[in-house]
Structures are given as structure tokens and as C-alpha cells.
Structure 1
Amino acid sequence: MVYEIGRTKSGLRMGFTTGSCAAAAAKAATYMLLSGETIQQVKLMTPKGIELYLDVEKIRRTEKFAECAIRKYSGDDPDVTNGLLVFARVKKERQTTDTAFYEGNLSLEGGVGVGRITHPGLEQKVGQAAINQIPRKMIFDAVQEICLQKKYQGELSVEISIPEGVDAAKKTFNPRLGIRGGISVLGTSGIVEPMSEKALTDTIYLEMKMIRSSGYERCYIVPGNYGMDFLTEQLELDAELTVKCSNYVGEAIEDARLLGMKGILLIGHVGKWVKLAAGVMNTHSRQADCRMEVLAVHAAMQGADRESVCRIMQCLNTTEALKIIRQLGILEPVMASVMDRIDFYLSGRAGGEFEIGAIMFSNEDGILGKTPNAEQLLERIQNERKQK
């Protein structure tokens, strides 16, 4: 099935996320369970504000449950999940397991093909299904909408399963993240917006050019939504002076040079920014993944013993590695050492033509480190904004 949801500026077809599939399937199954009627299509409002009308497949209804599926559509995004069926089974009971998610009288679990968290450091607890926060909210909201419509106040359990997700997960980075047995239910906006590499890098240039054309000579650079949220919510900085660079840090630095910027401040999560300490300027995991190597080396430089260095090298994510470093009591000097190296590579890439600095954060610790000139550069950007 091909949906015409919308197109990007470059003409690529949009799709919808596994989170939207799960929420729509849960909504349809809840409606059929509570109404006793069969429906062939379900309406879902996504967090992005785009309304979807999705075909309902594989319908099963019994006295105890209703089940159906929504087929994932990725548009022109090359995604291994494209075409997979995302099932939801809804029952008039509430889960009582330690691994389920709960909201009021509703419970949510993952079934076959939905990955399980096996290592700490992700937003879910070990043992829970890899259903991310926004998709969980979408699912609960969609089910609650039908409960209110049908004036149902009893308990309901929702199980999301993706049978083909077991095999699809082998083509993803889930095993390296400590997610076993299936794929993740993802999505922050509910919509997949595909972009070619050229379209992405062109967008970085255009966003920075708009800021420069507005009379500003300095701006912030963030990799994506996490960086933007930290910038606006934690640092309370101005999103209008921010460019999203995705994984293309090197291209963003080059664009700053071409546009005659006088300064850029990079603000990002440790999971991406720590790679800059190895001189990696494309932070996508397909290009390079040196996170543990960087942290292990800098921990060793600050006195970590061999056993601890080996434990860091075995970590699957930066949260896990930072926990070990924190337990050793060397987090602050390690981060200072990492930031010095980041400063070395960023300054080298900028070639002395403009100011460049970085702030690195984690969800657990907040700001982990800053390059030596970050505070000064931050102040200059803020002053420039006040003068406009």
C-alpha cells in the first residue's frame, strides 16, 4: 500500500513511524473490542500535526480480545521496517508484570518482534520492551480516546508485536545497543521525513544562511531533537539561532566558513559529541563508532586501572560507560580531557577563520564538559541576539 502523506521540499515521499503504526493499531483494536464492530480504516493524529488515515489489516476478534495490524510505510526513506506489520492486541484486563508500562487503568507490553532492553543506559528499564516514550504516549492517548468515546472506565491491556521484527532487527544497530529479540518502536513526530545526504547538507547550509542573512554572525549547532530540547529547555537558549546538522558536523563547520560566520557553538549529547574527540566529523554509527575507545583511553589517562578500562570497552552505550567512570571518581577530569581533545579537532577544522566551541551533555548529568572558549562564545551569541 502506498500512502500520499506529503512530500519534503526535495520531493521525497513522507512515511509514518513504527510508533504511529502501534498507536493506530491499538486504537483500532480498542474500538473493535469496545464496540463489537469491525473497522477497515483508522484515523490517527500524529505529534507533528499530520492526520493519518491508515488501513487496518489482519483483524481478529474473540470474546476476550481484539487484534489487528497496521503496515509500516516508510515513504522514500530506506528503512528495514518498511512493509512490516505492527500488531496490537487489546484485552479487558490490566497487565501485572514488572516490565509493563502503566497509565491509569491501561497497561502496555511488547510481544514477539519488539526488542527487549538487556543493558542499562536507555530510557526503559532492563527487561522492558523497546517502546520509546513518545510512541508509548501515542498508544495510551489513542486507547484513552476510544475509552472516553465509548464511556469505558475499566481496565485494558495492550500488547504490541511485530513478528517480522525478529529478523529485521539483525539489520539494525539494536544488538549493539543491548536491545535483543526485535526492533524498537520509535518516532518523535510520528512521521518519517526522508532526506538524501545532499538534501540534508543543503538544508544545513540554507538554515545557516538564513541566520547569516538576518544579520547574525554567530549561531548554535545541534545534531537533532535531543540537542535542541537541551538547548531550549535546560540552557534556555534561542532556537531561532540554531542549525540542526544531523551527523554532518564537518559540513556544518565548512558552511560556517563559506558564509563568513564569526563563531559557532556546538551543543550535543555525549553519544555523538564524544566521537569528535577522535576527530570524527560524521557522527553516524555507519561511518565510525569510537565512543568506548575515546572514553576508555581518557579514563586510562586519568588513572583508571586495566580492569576498569576493559569494562568500559565492553559497554554498549555511553550511559553505561560514564557510570563506571563516575564510580572511579574521575568523571570530571576525564570529561575535561575529552573536551580538550574536542577543542583540538574543532579548532583544526575551523582553521582559525572563526571561533568554534562545544558543550557536551548527558540526560543523567546535564552538562558534562565545555571547551575552553564555550562560555565566552555563548555570551557573545546571547549579546548579539539582545542587540537585534
Structure 2
Amino acid sequence: MAFEQYIQKGSQRLRCGFTTGSCAALAAKAAAVALLTGKAPGTVAIMTPKRLSVEVPVLEAEAGADYAVCAVMKDSGDDPDVTNGALVYARVTKTEAPGIAIDGGTGVGRVTKPGLDQPVGAAAINRVPRQMIAAEVQSVCDRYGYAGGVSVVISIPAGAALAARTFNPKLGIEGGLSVLGTSGIVEPMSAQALIDTIGVELRQLAAKGYRKVILTPGNYGEAFLKTMPYLTAAPTVKFSNFAGDTLDFAAAYGFQKILVVGHAGKLVKLAGGIMNTHSAVADCRGEIIAAHAALHGAGREAARALMDAVSTDACLDILDRMGLLEDVLSSLLGRIQEQLQRRAGGGTEIGAVMFSNVRGLLGQTETAPGIIDSFYQEEK
């Protein structure tokens, strides 16, 4: 019984899925029915926060005198989610204590660092899934006239192995997966999950008291930072292509100094105000470099060569042969500084360091040396 909800992405019609939070609520509802009636339902349905109904088969049902266990299978639709196909179990037990207590069992991670949705020590079952689980279990209790307490334990037997393929170990969630979701629905190939993870990393650093941070697009930036030993101990967050969203998070969480360290292929786009640097969104590197070269005297043929170049490094080679490399880099860095400062806002001091894998350090914005020095002084 596939979840038949679709979205259009360009020319593709992609099937949506449902979150681990929806799975937990579905399994908990089915187990509550089994507990109070002695028989598990064949299927179970919930209304998600997105106001889309999800109905799934109930699997692995078991019921005793004061407990019941049911499972449902995670369906991520056409989204390449590592949890797709995993079984999510709920064990529901009658308790003497009033209310509905929710915890995590095997394969559900535990929070070990501050700044996450749940406090340190709690199961990594986020706020909205907890609300969904409690609401569904309470609805079953009301339907069958049960006024006692209930314990709900969510388990994902494959969770520990799957979590190694997620950001959980880096975020400080140990032992398994997180039970996530705010809408209850997974939209295929959405970038939102990655953006949310970046926000969590920055929020965690802020919760630890950090007010300075290095931002870098990815592995190239991390490797280049190793050539700057006085920065190796500084907190670093990879922002992938989401420069604008990351700067928004950093400003919102009160970071006072930000150093962006990136390959020219990414940072050149920032000079054009492009804050999502994925090539599918915008790839104007040649055009931006050609415009800055024209400001320093490059003619039509040079501009055409720059726009036709296959890489940023090829553009740098052309500029070098023309004797314009230093001037154009200075011009680009000046515009990068303007764009970064505009996005970060006036309460944040921000600077950038630009490099290439071929030429090494290419330059830095005017504010970067002072920010770098502040990291160095802190480490002394």
C-alpha cells in the first residue's frame, strides 16, 4: 500500500514518503489499539501535520496482558533516504503513573550534546513526533475508555547501523537514529534536511558559548584549513552550497565573527550575490570573472575566453597571462566582502579567504586578517 502523494520537480513526477516521526506515531497508535482490544489492526492511519493522511500495514504485531508491540515500515518515496525500508516499532505498556511517557529503545539515538531539539540524555525523538505519538495514543485511549497511564517506547532495530551513514555521530546523537519530521511527510530530494542540519550545528556551537566560527563549503575548504595551523582548533561548519541560509543561522544565533574559507569556484559566485552555489541553481563564474576583468581593461576577446573557460582555475590562468590576476582578485574579494556583510547583517564581523587547489592562497578580504588574528589570540 504505497503512499500516493506526488510532487513535480522539473520534468520529474516524484512520489513523497513519510517521516520516521509519522512511522513512530503510526506504530504507537496500532500498538495502543492492540493493547486495549487484544488484537492489532491490519492497517493503521494518521493525519500528518501537513494535513495529508497516511495509512500503512501493521507488521510484527504482538500483544500481552499489559503491553503490545507493533511495527510499520518506513517509506521514503523517491527520496534517497538511508532509513527507507527500516522497521519502526512501538511498545505500548499500561502504567500506574498518569499520562503518556515517551522514550526511545534499541536503535533510537540519545542526545549527548546541548543545542538539539531534546535535552542531553533524552531519546532523540523530536518535539513534533512526540506530539504526534501522544495525540494518536491519547485518541485510542479515549476511544476505548482507558484513563490510566501509558508508556510508549520507540525502537528501530537497524537504527544503530543506519545512523553511521547520517550526521548523527557528528551532532552528538549516539546509539541510533533520530525520530524526526515537522510535517510528517518527506518530499523527494529536498535540500531542507541538510539546511536544518547546518542550523543544528550552529545552534549547538552557540549553546556551548562560541561566538566565532569558520564556515567552509566542504572538503576542499577543510583540507586548506590544515595549511593554516592556527585555525585548526577553531569551530568549523561545512555549509555545502547553502551560504545564505548558513549566514542567516549564524546571525540568528549571535555569532560575532565569521570567517568564510572557500575555493574560488564557490566564492566567485558569492561576488555575484549568489547565495546558493549549486550549479543547478546558478553557475555564472565565467561571467562574473569576465565582468571584473572588463573593469580592469580586458577587451571583448579576453571576456569571451573567460566566459568559455572550463573552470575557475582556467580563468585564473587567462588572467595571469594578461597581467590582470592581482587586480581582478582584489576586485572580486571586495565584492565578496560586500555581499557577505550584507547577508550577515551589521551586528556580525565577517571576512573571507579564497584559495584554489592549484595556486593555493589567492587572497582575503580586508576584514579577514583581524578575524584570523582573533582566532589565533584565543588559542595562545
Give the shorter-chain TM-score range: 0.5 to 0.7
Instruction: Give ranges in structure 2 of 5+ residues lacking alignment.
Output: 206-210, 239-250, 274-331, 352-380
Task: Say if 2:336 is the partner of 1:337.
Answer: no
| Structure 2 counterpart of 1:172 | 166
1 CA distance for matches of 2:45 and 2:68?
17
Which whole-Å CA distance do the structure 2 matches of 1:269 and 1:173 have between them?
10
Is 1:125 equivalent to 2:110 in the alignment?
no
Mapped partners of 1:340, 1:57: distance in 2: 49
The percent identity for this pair of structures is: 39
Instruction: Say which of 99, 106, 109 aligns to 1:112.
Output: 106
Aligned: 1:156 with 2:135: no
- Whichever residue aligns with residue 3 of structure 1, its letter is A
Name the residue aligned to 1:83.
85
Instruction: Give the whole-Å Cα distance in 2 for the aligned partners of 1:183 and 1:269.
Output: 17
Alpha carbons of structure 1 residues 40 and 138: separation in structure 2 relative to 1, 3 Å: same
2:244 matched residue in structure 1 = none
Alignment CA distance shift 1:268-1:25 (3 Å): closer
Which one-letter code corresponds to 1:156 in the other structure? V
- Find the partner of 1:358 among 324, 343, 352: 343
Gaps of 5+ in 1: 96-103, 201-222, 228-245, 248-266, 302-308, 318-330, 361-366, 373-388
Residue 93 to residue 275, structure 1, CA distance change in 2 (3 Å): same
Asked if structure 2 preserves the Cα contact closer than 8 Å seen for 1:177 and 1:316, the reply is no
Cα distance per residue 1:277-336 (max 9 Å; x no partner): 6453xxxx7x6786xx79xx9xx89xxxxxxx85x65x999xxxxxxxxxxxxx9xx944
- Secondary structure of 2:141 counterpart: helix
Deviation of residue 149 (structure 1)?
1.5
Q: Distance in 2 between matches of 1:27 and 1:339?
A: 48
TM-score by length of 1: 0.56
Contact 1:176 1:316 in 2 (8 A): no
User: What TM-score, normalized to structure 2?
Assistant: 0.57
CA shift, 1:348, in A, is 2.6
Are 2:114 and 2:204, in contact at CA under 8 Å, matched by a contact in 1?
no
Counterpart residue identity of residue 271, structure 2: G
Following TM superposition, by how much is the alpha carbon of 1:38 offset from its aligned partner in structure 2, in angstroms?
2.5
Contact 1:24 1:43 in 2 (8 A): yes
Structure 1 residue 32 displacement after superposition: 1.4
Q: What does residue 8 of structure 1 align with?
A: 7
CA distance in 1, matches of 2:33, 2:200: 42
Which residue of the partner structure matches residue 24 of structure 1? 26
The structure whose Rg is larger is 2
Query: Does the C-alpha gap of structure 1 residues 268 and 66 become closer, same or farther in structure 2, counting only changes over 3 Å?
Result: closer
Task: Describe the shift of the 1:277–1:145 C-alpha distance in structure 2 as closer, same or farther (beyond 3 A).
Answer: same
Indicate how the Cα distance of structure 1 residues 181 and 9 shifts in structure 2: closer, same or farther if over 3 A, else same. Answer: same
Question: How many correspondences in the alignment?
Answer: 261
Aligned to 1:348: 271
Alpha-carbon distance between aligned partners in 1 of 2:153 and 2:102, rounded to the nearest angstrom:
6
Q: CA deviation at 1:114?
A: 0.3
Contact 1:64 1:91 in 2 (8 A): yes
